[in-house]
Structure 1
């Protein structure tokens, strides 16, 4: 009985497979026509991600001139706020960082423990955030576009928020002329 059932099962499966394969064809009836092509060759592909306004600009290239002159260690790449960040430390003093953030403007910047104070750096809109990371800390952020910014942050081992803001402001002012001009 079991052998008869197996034979019936094998025959049934073979028949189903043969019918299924015979109904498939690699040829389609009709005339072959090429797929339509896009006529506008100058349009950028729509990847869903905004274009990086900073392109080849590197955060460490903007931070290094200010920090080297002040005795900081060589800047190193960081990726906390964006993929284009840089930080430097000075033994016994504190740290500084600079980030180029292509996907969030100054309006999207969280003040942390501080308060955003509107200001200008050069002709650009900016905010200063004393105490953003607690005492002895400050961030200055410059608007490059409504959805892109530079942030310069300082955290001191000793000192005040005002001293931290002075260094963050100095870094931002030095970097601002090198930022892209976007209308």
Structure 2
């Protein structure tokens, strides 16, 4: 039991590092592309900065719905990179969702070999693989507005592969995306 608590603590710490260091998204339903900044035509319509695009939307509600039936306990509040974040953990897996109404998708930083542009259900996204540098972690960030994003993070335990983490992050992103504010 002590070992399981340690794994969950370490996984939670790794997830914290993911959300604070970078974010990712993935071309879930297509071919990944190398990163290049969007043109002004590709940018989403601007929502006034004073308006909270996530007003009335709680990250834990979206995350709990996205992972329902997968053995996760209800998510708990996490303020790792935003004041509207949530995380849930079960043995060997920590998942998180951050709804950030301050930073846009272009602020998701990662080296080119680990960052891939794409889309989730037609919404511009970025995937960052191996977000902590030792495998088993992935993020999918989705554009909500010019200065707003939703970031799904997955950290796997026991030296599991990064690609497996990215599959899980993509599945959660697909489940969360329909509930995000539309452009």
What residue is the counterpart of 2:153 in the other structure? 153
Change over 3 Å in CA distance of 1:77–1:112 after alignment to 2: farther
CA distance in 1, matches of 2:111, 2:90: 24
1:129 equivalent in alignment to 2:128? yes
What residue is the counterpart of 1:143 in the other structure? 143
CA distance in 1, matches of 2:115, 2:104: 13
In the TM superposition, 1:155-174 aligns within 5 A as: 155-158=155-158, 159-174=160-175
Change over 3 Å in CA distance of 1:126–1:113 after alignment to 2: closer
Cα distance, 1:70 vs. partner?
A: 0.9
CA distance in 2, matches of 1:113, 1:76: 32
CA distance in 2, matches of 1:112, 1:175: 26
Would you say the 8 A contact 2:103–2:148 is kept in 1? yes
Change over 3 Å in CA distance of 1:114–1:86 after alignment to 2: farther
Provide the aligned C-alpha RMSD in A: 1.8
Q: TM-score, normalising length from structure 1? A: 0.69
Secondary structure of 2:67's partner?
Answer: helix
Pair member with larger Rg:
1
Q: TM-score, normalising length from structure 2? A: 0.69
Secondary structure of 2:88's partner?
Answer: strand
What residue is the counterpart of 1:115 in the other structure? 114
Would you say the 8 A contact 2:66–2:176 is kept in 1? no
Would you say the 8 A contact 1:113–1:132 is kept in 2? no
Give unpaired runs (5+ residues) of structure 2: 1-47
Q: 1:65-109 CA deviation, whole Å, 9 max, x = no partner?
A: 232311012210100010000000012x12000010001011011
CA distance in 2, matches of 1:81, 1:162: 24
Would you say the 8 A contact 2:74–2:88 is kept in 1? yes
Q: 1:26-49 CA deviation, whole Å, 9 max, x = no partner?
A: xxxxxxxxxxxxxxxxxxxxxx96
In the TM superposition, 1:1-183 aligns within 5 A as: 50-91=50-91, 93-111=92-110, 115-134=114-133, 135-158=135-158, 159-182=160-183
Cα distance, 1:64 vs. partner?
A: 0.4
Give unpaired runs (5+ residues) of structure 1: 1-47
